[in-house]
Structure 1
Amino acid sequence: MSAPKHPPKPPTLDQHLCFKLYSTSLKMTQHYKPLLAALNLTYPQYLVMVVLWEQEGLGIKDIAQRLQQDSGSITPLVKRLEAEGYLLRGRDPLDERNRVLTLTAKGRELRAAGLRVSEQFAHACAITHQDVEQLASGLDKLNGNLS
């Protein structure tokens, strides 16, 4: 007579990739918070600025797509950034219904401070550039597979 079969055990919390991503993401945004407070930016606002530092003249829909968000969640961020004097929302000359975003001088000047934040965060991570590239590559693959 064979031994009774036990049902498979579910993975432990530490074996769940989703938990590792979630807890790491929380720690990352918590670490960014004081660095960005000096710039009067929240983490989501910082991400909008990073996109605009890469390319100006984008619409809210373009930024939302780039950040993998819906435009309804980006609009309030953009309005707050405009109120801070970091960007301007103008009409798209090709389509009056669309708004395009351009940085103000203050928004462009903030880029240098944003670079310092990025450098401080990279230093705090205490991992090599090669580690970052490997993690980013794996996360890009995972993200693509889930899309």
Structure 2
Amino acid sequence: MSWTAVQTGIGIGLFAVLVTGCSMEAASVPYNGSGRRGIQTMTPEQVAETYFSRMRAHDMSVVDLFHEDAVLLGLGMRVSGRQAIREFYAKAIEAGGPQPRSAGPLMTDGRRVAAEVYIDLSNGSIVHAVDIFHVEDGRIRMLNYFIADEPAAQ
């Protein structure tokens, strides 16, 4: 790693990841001159984008985006707490992992984000849905799934 990279903070961020095991998102927070790094909180839109990115990658760290006492609502169920949410996503990913893709831009209203998506399932079918994220402190407090009555056009 070059001294230039260290000076620009890239090296420092990478060093923080290697030493502390924290995510690059947290490590990329600029040094604030007070002897400590600031705490980075993702915007609600960034949380939703990160959620979809991790789901497409079948990345179980998607669960880290949820508050400890978060709730999933939809699909005829209520899943409460990060551990139960972890189990829910582990089963979904093991079954082939849903592949969400955007059906339009994210719509943000303060701490809420609405995302219209098409979800490609492992059996070849496509589900048309709207996901509503309720975000607090950079983490998902509640995620609601609303599934369209009609099958999505292919």
Q: TM-score, normalised by structure 2?
A: 0.27
Q: TM-score, normalised by structure 1?
A: 0.27
Larger radius of gyration: 1
More helix by share: 1
More strand by share: 2
